[in-house]
Amino acid sequence: MAMRSKRRVYSVIKGKKTSFIDPLLHICFGGMAFSYLLTRKCIFEEKYEEKLAKEKLARELHAKEHGGH
């Protein structure tokens, strides 16, 4: 019975009635979206750093082969 009454709990937010589960769902899905975007950003940065390291190594090898400074 207590669970049933909790499901029917309503709060008034800016004049709109929302069930208490709606904010919880927004937090969960928002957290998942944020986590996904953060992961994508980290993966992008790792790939970019690897690319820069490879380019730097290629420049150093090229300079060494051609007697550069």
What domain range is 58 assigned to? Answer: 2-65
- Given a cut of 80, whether residue 2 has pLDDT beyond it is no
Instruction: Decide if 9 contacts 22 (C-beta within 8 A).
Output: no
Within 8 A by CB and 6+ apart from 69, the residues are: 63
pLDDT at 55: 96
pTM of the model: 0.50
User: Predicted confidence band at 14 (pLDDT cuts at 50, 70, 90)?
Assistant: low
pLDDT in tens, 21-57: 778 888 899 999 999 999 999 999 999 999 999 999 9
Q: Are 2 and 9 in contact (CB under 8 A)?
A: no
Q: How many domains does the chain have?
A: 1
pLDDT of residue 1 exceeding 50, the answer is: no
